[in-house]
Amino acid sequence: MRVTVAAELQTIRGGVEAYCRQLRLSGHGKDTDAAIDCLRRGVVAWCRGLDARGLLERVLRDKQVRFEPSDDTSFEVDISMA
């Protein structure tokens, strides 16, 4: 499944925060790339948890997150900058 979310970047003490308002998740790192990678891993973990409970597609629709279902069990996360 491919999931697309928007993120905002913000400088924090010691680095950068990438925050996704749609899912209320954030990633932190020493630079922008590290913060985005951290957020991406968080989104994948969030998706896997909901998928295991059979709730993923419904919750993504409720939160108005764009997604493309697929036949495999992997998750690709595209992050656009808001």
Pick the closest to residue 42 from 81, 3, 71 (CA basis). Answer: 3
Q: Both tokens of residue 45?
A: 């973990």
Confidence at 20, pLDDT banded by 50, 70, 90: very high
Instruction: Give the pLDDT of residue 82.
Output: 79
pLDDT over 90 percentage in the chain? 91
Residues in a beta bridge with 26: 19
Residue-wise pLDDT for 35-56, tens only, equals 999 999 999 999 999 999 999 9
Q: Both tokens of residue 30?
A: 């020493």
Per-residue pLDDT at 70 exceeds 90: no
Query: In what helix (H) or strand (E) does residue 58 lie, and over which residues does it extend?
Result: helix 56-62
